[in-house]
Structure 1
Amino acid sequence: MTTIVVVHTGPVTVQPLKDQFNQQLPDVRMINIVDDSLLNDVRAAGHLTPEVTARLYTYMANAQAMGADYILNACSSVGEAVDVVRGMVRTPIMKIDETMAEEASRLGSRIGVVATVKTTLEPTVRLIRKKAQEAAREIAVVERVAEAAFEALLAGDTGRHDEILRQTILELAETVDVIVLAQVSMARLVPSLGTTRVPVLSSPQSGVAALREALSRAH
């Protein structure tokens, strides 16, 4: 049986990705490794640290030892650590947000990026710029951080979290060509937005779809 190990930096990404695996890869064995100190440490430092990168390497080396066919990194805040770890483990590693970043740079030249955590916003913006550069596209990025939404989520007030984010997204949609939701935890909001003026991209569906395609090519 195909085994995918997903590395999470908090519990909020587990269920959205389980749902996508059930829909898109129902016959795959999914193993979740969750360490919520990773995101906490990145937030406390304000950036990715060597210590977080070292721990991420340990988890991904363990994933390789578990016989993983692929490793999926579920958090954009530590996405740049994956670039380091890729050279240190044999098992292929995919980032949940890589396909989304490519799609955003294809869809428009003015890209809005929404996050509730600043440490996720910055690496997501850098990834989008990198993908646009690879595709030789000129883009402008408009950033929005809804920190109050993240605080509401930590306090268990999902209703307030959703309302703050919804307002942020709808306001931003008036000034850009496409919107990127920088965190997996924001994806569940998309159905409740209704018809938006511009496309709103989230990473769970496209990230797992890219994984499914990679697996089909490998077999």
Structure 2
Amino acid sequence: MPTLGLIHNSPMLAPVFNEIAARVMPDVRLLHFVDESTIKNTIAAGHLQKATMRQVIRLVGSSFDAGCDAAMITCSSIGRAVEMAAELHDQPVLRVDRPMAEKAVATGRRIGVLATLPTTLKPTAELIARIAREQGKEIEIVENVCAGAFDAVMAGDGATHDRIVGEALTQAMKDVDVIVLAQASMARVLATLPDGAVAAPVYSSPELGMVHARDVLRGLAR
């Protein structure tokens, strides 16, 4: 049975990915690796530090030592470290947010990026801009940080987080062609909004990332 290693910065993400896996890759075994230091130290420093990059690379190595066929990092804040880890391993090392960014660039010119942390917003916007350059497309990125939402969810107040993100989706992102959710934890908010509340298509990383990981694993099995 193929095995996918998922590297998280919060234990809250494991159930999200388990649910998606049960639907899109029931024949794949998941192993979760959780290290909260990767996001907490990045937030404290205000940027991705070299020590955190080394820790991400160690986590990727641990996933392969544990028997994983591919590793996927589920946090956008540490994207640069993912790409470094990919250079060091023959097995696939995946960014959960790249399929989402590619789909956003393919969908519209004016792209809204919504995040609950500046440290996640910047690397997500940079990834979208880089993909647009690679494809020779001109885009405009509209950035928005949902102030207070991250602190609320870390304090266990999911309802406040969802309300703040929901307001940003329906009000701050009115004039964009497509909306990208920079954090995996934001995806659940869509289900709480009434039909038609958000005019633009909204893409989040967990579902698209897992579908891509499934396709990568199938390619390895051939």
TM-score by length of 1: 0.97
Q: Which letter maps to 1:76?
A: S
Task: Tell me which residue corresponds to 2:206.
Answer: 204
Task: Tell me which residue corresponds to 2:215.
Answer: 213
State how far apart, in whole Å, the 1-side matches of 2:89 and 2:129 are: 26
1:131 aligns with 2:131: yes
Displacement of 1:27: 1.5
State how far apart, in whole Å, the 2-side matches of 1:172 and 1:207 are: 26
Task: Tell me which residue corresponds to 1:2.
Answer: 2
Aligned residues: 219
Displacement of 1:15: 1.5
Q: Which letter maps to 1:180?
A: V
Query: What is the SS of the residue equivalent to 1:86?
Result: helix
State how far apart, in whole Å, the 2-side matches of 1:25 and 1:92 are: 17
Paired residues of 1:173 and 1:197 also in contact (CA < 8 A)? no
Task: Tell me which residue corresponds to 2:15.
Answer: 15
Question: Deviations along 1:54-86, whole A, 9 cap, x unmatched?
Answer: 111111111111121110111000011111111
Paired residues of 1:2 and 1:28 also in contact (CA < 8 A)? yes
State how far apart, in whole Å, the 1-side matches of 2:73 and 2:187 are: 16
Q: Quote the RMSD (CA, aligned, Å).
A: 1.0
Gaps of 5+ in 2: none
Question: Deviations along 1:16-72, whole A, 9 cap, x unmatched?
Answer: 111111111112110000010110000011111110011111111111111211101
Task: Tell me which residue corresponds to 1:58.
Answer: 58
Displacement of 1:206: 0.5
Identity of aligned residues (%): 37
1:152 aligns with 2:152: yes
Gaps of 5+ in 1: none
Alignment of 1:1-219 (within 5 A): 1-193=1-193, 194-195=195-196, 196-218=198-220, 219=222
Displacement of 1:133: 1.0
State how far apart, in whole Å, the 2-side matches of 1:123 and 1:106 are: 19
State how far apart, in whole Å, the 1-side matches of 2:30 and 2:75 are: 16
State how far apart, in whole Å, the 1-side matches of 2:133 and 2:20 are: 29
Paired residues of 1:64 and 1:90 also in contact (CA < 8 A)? no
Q: Which letter maps to 1:74?
A: T
Query: What is the SS of the residue equivalent to 1:87?
Result: helix
Q: Which letter maps to 1:75?
A: C
